[in-house]
Structure 1
Amino acid sequence: MSQTNNGTSIAVSLKLLLPLLASIVAVSPLAIDMYLPAMPLLADNFSTDMPTIQNSLSIYLLGYSLGLFLVGPLSDKYPRRRMVLIGLTGFFVFSVLLIFAQTAEQFLLLRFCQAFISSAAIVVVPGTIRERYKENTAKGFSYVSMIMMLAPMVAPSIGSIMLLHSWQAIFMFLAGYSMLVLLAAYKFLPEAQHKSGNKSLNFFKRYRVVLSHKSARLDILSSMLVSLAFFAFITSVTFIYMTVYNVAEFEFSLLFACTVLGLMTAHFTNTRLVTRLGSRKMMALGLSIGVTCASGLLLVNFLEYPLFYTVATLIPLMGSISIMAVNADAMVLLQFSEEAGTATAVIGILRFGVGSLAGPILAFFYDGTALPFAFLMWSSIFIVFLIQLIHLVRIKR
């Protein structure tokens, strides 16, 4: 039971709260994935090249990271519900403005602003899950992620349908979706059960508390590098499937949906096993699958095997990435009871900050094949393996 701004009590069960939180988090993947099929059209419409439009994804991630930096500590000080309403309202406004973009520069600026303000809504979700699930936080993350994965599964297909009208229709859809979620959050989202955070700590002291926590650092680094691999996929997937392997838009949507289905399966598996094995062992399981599949992906692209082999290694690899991500985040957040928003911001800043580098890195090593992508995926996962190995050695000492 919790209070709204007008003093009315709201009782929300997990059966309602989890889909609501997932709908809030889904704002970001919808904003990222829906316009992927429109990238070639956007390049033509704004009379620019494809790399410029591809880098709009990196700009979105950068805006989101900077937004997290500002609102993370604020979410530990001010009501979470208020932050969500501000973030969703801002996302709606900039989605509408994007419809009227006339140049590539306007489009990039508005995407940055759209991402920046949306962070206010999303940053409070992990803290809410941690509050409800406590030591089973990874299970809660997986439930929300599993529901939220419906968004990226259908997003490219919705984007393709919207393109039958215009690219502007994609942002009309995003505006409508964010308004519906805003209304649902206003009516049903409860305030925190307990006051979150120590209000006496200032903005930078909150970051100092999180960043000085030695046992959380390696898991934060692991989460960051897993995210680099994830956003390398998001940045490159259109190019790999539609340009390197010449698949049609409909086939691209099916392949993307199969990958998201693999992610959902991985999250469901995590919800079944994490309460018995714990997040650390699930992290090790995901990492072992990830290293194997990333090595396979690198090999089949080096040998220039057909599309089937890339798909066969990429789908389980993305599933392993999802397992690693939710468990790394859970292990970090469990270290912080009063700075959950700041810890979420640190994870998000590093995650989306390094994710924004995926586009420039891949552009720098561009050779017309999927090999640079495969190598970036492999190197990211291998470094996570080394980080977790260091963690294991420290524990044994």
Structure 2
Amino acid sequence: MRRFSSGVASRPPPSIPEFTPLTTPPLSWLLILGALTAFAPMSIDMYLPSLPMIAGEFGASAAAAQFTLSAFFIGLAIGQTIHGPLADRYGRKPPLYAGLALYVAASVGCAFAPDIVTLTGLRFVQALGGCAGVVIARAVVRDRFDAHTSARVYSLLMLVMGLAPILAPFIGGWVLLLAGWRVIFIILALFGLACLWAIWRYLPETRPAGPVPATRIAGVLRVYGELLRDRSLLGYTLSGGFAQAGMFAYITGSPHVFIELHGVSAQNYGWLFGLNALGLIAGSQYNRRLLSRHSADAILRRANRTTVLLGLALLVVAVSGWGGLPGLLLPLFGYLVTLGFTAPNAMANALAHQGARAGSASALIGALQFVLATGSSALVGLLGGDSALPMAVVIAGCGLLAYGAHRILVGAGLH
């Protein structure tokens, strides 16, 4: 195996060309990048309705079935830190091929899993492969678009994040009813194969020319250390990450608050959840229009201030009980709308100056945001209680931290 004496090689591979930033994304690229972004939400949300049936078939507890989901989250966090450096070293497409091939194989394995332990392990492997799409899609956007256009593209990709919680459980529920839970994983495997073909056929290599990072552990850790010392990247990452962590606090706490405390039926909860997801979509698409007149950073600053106000309004309602369920729904809806402005603009600015390190930077951003989301979800559970206050406290806190991260690390003018 070739070894490197330092963190970079002397020159880039000759097959990697120089690129002029694009101002209009090709439709084929948008479809492929949207599909790559969908790997995580499809693999999570599509099989959620199957958890009780999986537990029953394998004679496992509900907690054991739920751990198949936790294993997927763990695989997402670990896999991103692996695929990022590989994408910087070998180009964007080879790790995509390897990751999606692993995803397809693990999905087929899940479909034929003989017991809950095997299924849990294969879900971990499935996430290790599938997260290549999530990491590298962000890096490809950074490779070919400037920060302003990148924010518009990320806004389009937010459509996937908003539609997945609406469509994937619906599709998964019908597949479960008509064909059983194992067929869901066959469908996911076919989706992975379709993406592999589309990448081979339509997506060119986009890694920019420049020094090639090493793949030795010391070199990879050095790159991650440099990224963590980048105030601008860290500020934008934490700003977007804390805002998204508030959304995960809502996802964790809302079933208890809506169904158990306010008597909303499971069916109507789905409608409320979908309505809030549409708010996220609407915000992200209006963000694209605003970007024609304002910079991504200016929009992000205003969105962060609005997030703080909505989080505090939610907290006041939770403490006072004013307005009942509608009083809670209004600031929650507003919070998710503002996330449509926060997430794409934070991501675009975080990756704007990373160049050939975009793969590693994308991986670090994904891992940090996953940690924040996991922490906020866990905190809602730990606070417990028979009120909306735990959820509201965490959401309000996330809004304040998102604003503070941007204000302290980016607002100081150190880019």
**Bucket of the pairwise TM-score, normalised by the shorter protein:** 0.7 to 0.9
Alignment pair present for 1:188 and 2:206: no
CA distance in 2, matches of 1:126, 1:302: 39
- Cα 1:269/1:232, change in 2 over 3 Å: same
Aligned residue pairs total 388
Greater Cα shift, 204-213 or 241-250: 241-250
Q: CA RMSD in A?
A: 3.0
Deviation at 1:15, TM superposition (A): 1.4
Q: Which residue of 1 aligns with 2:86?
A: 74
Once the two structures are superposed, what CA deviation does each residue of 1:349-384 show, in whole Å capped at 9, x if it has no partner? 111123233443333223354432222211111111
Select the structure of larger CA radius of gyration.
2
Deviation at 1:303, TM superposition (A): 4.2
Q: Which residue of 2 aligns with 1:154?
A: 167
Q: Give 1:365's aligned amino acid.
A: L
Deviation at 1:151, TM superposition (A): 2.8
Say which of 293, 318, 340 aligns to 1:276.
Answer: 293
Q: Which residue of 2 aligns with 1:8?
A: none
Q: Which residue of 1 aligns with 2:5?
A: none
Contact preservation (8 Å) 1:58, 1:355: no
Greater Cα shift, 232-241 or 203-212: 232-241
Q: Which residue of 2 aligns with 1:141?
A: 154
List gaps (5 residues or longer) in structure 1: 6-11
CA distance in 1, matches of 2:230, 2:340: 24
Contact preservation (8 Å) 1:62, 1:352: no
Q: Which residue of 1 aligns with 2:21?
A: none
SS of the equivalent of 2:205 reads coil
Q: Which residue of 2 aligns with 1:171?
A: 185
CA distance in 2, matches of 1:161, 1:296: 38
SS of the equivalent of 1:356 reads helix
SS of the equivalent of 2:348 reads helix
CA distance in 1, matches of 2:136, 2:174: 32
CA distance in 1, matches of 2:70, 2:111: 20
List gaps (5 residues or longer) in structure 2: 1-13, 17-23
Alignment pair present for 1:36 and 2:54: no
Say which of 310, 321, 325 aligns to 1:307.
Answer: 325
CA distance in 1, matches of 2:114, 2:387: 32
| Equivalences for residues 214-363 of structure 1 within 5 A | 214-304=231-321, 306-363=324-381
SS of the equivalent of 1:394 reads coil
Deviation at 1:121, TM superposition (A): 2.3
Contact preservation (8 Å) 1:76, 1:197: no
Greater Cα shift, 206-215 or 279-288: 206-215
Once the two structures are superposed, what CA deviation does each residue of 1:170-197 show, in whole Å capped at 9, x if it has no partner? 3333223222222222222211163365
Contact preservation (8 Å) 1:57, 1:356: no
Alignment pair present for 1:62 and 2:74: yes
- Cα 1:96/1:359, change in 2 over 3 Å: farther
Deviation at 1:141, TM superposition (A): 1.1
Q: Give 1:356's aligned amino acid.
A: T
Once the two structures are superposed, what CA deviation does each residue of 1:120-153 show, in whole Å capped at 9, x if it has no partner? 2221111211222213221121122225533333
Q: Which residue of 1 aligns with 2:11?
A: none
- Cα 1:378/1:336, change in 2 over 3 Å: same
Q: Give 2:392's aligned amino acid.
A: A
Q: Which residue of 2 aligns with 1:9?
A: none
SS of the equivalent of 1:338 reads helix
Deviation at 1:217, TM superposition (A): 2.2
- Cα 1:257/1:180, change in 2 over 3 Å: farther
SS of the equivalent of 1:357 reads helix
SS of the equivalent of 1:375 reads helix
CA distance in 2, matches of 1:378, 1:54: 28
Task: Report the TM-score, using the length of structure 2 for normalisation.
Answer: 0.83
- Cα 1:4/1:43, change in 2 over 3 Å: farther
Contact preservation (8 Å) 2:39, 2:131: no
Alignment pair present for 1:113 and 2:128: no
Say which of 112, 131, 136 aligns to 2:143.
Answer: 131
Alignment pair present for 1:86 and 2:98: yes
Task: Report the TM-score, using the length of structure 1 for normalisation.
Answer: 0.86
CA distance in 2, matches of 1:246, 1:172: 37
Once the two structures are superposed, what CA deviation does each residue of 1:82-101 show, in whole Å capped at 9, x if it has no partner? 22222222222222222344
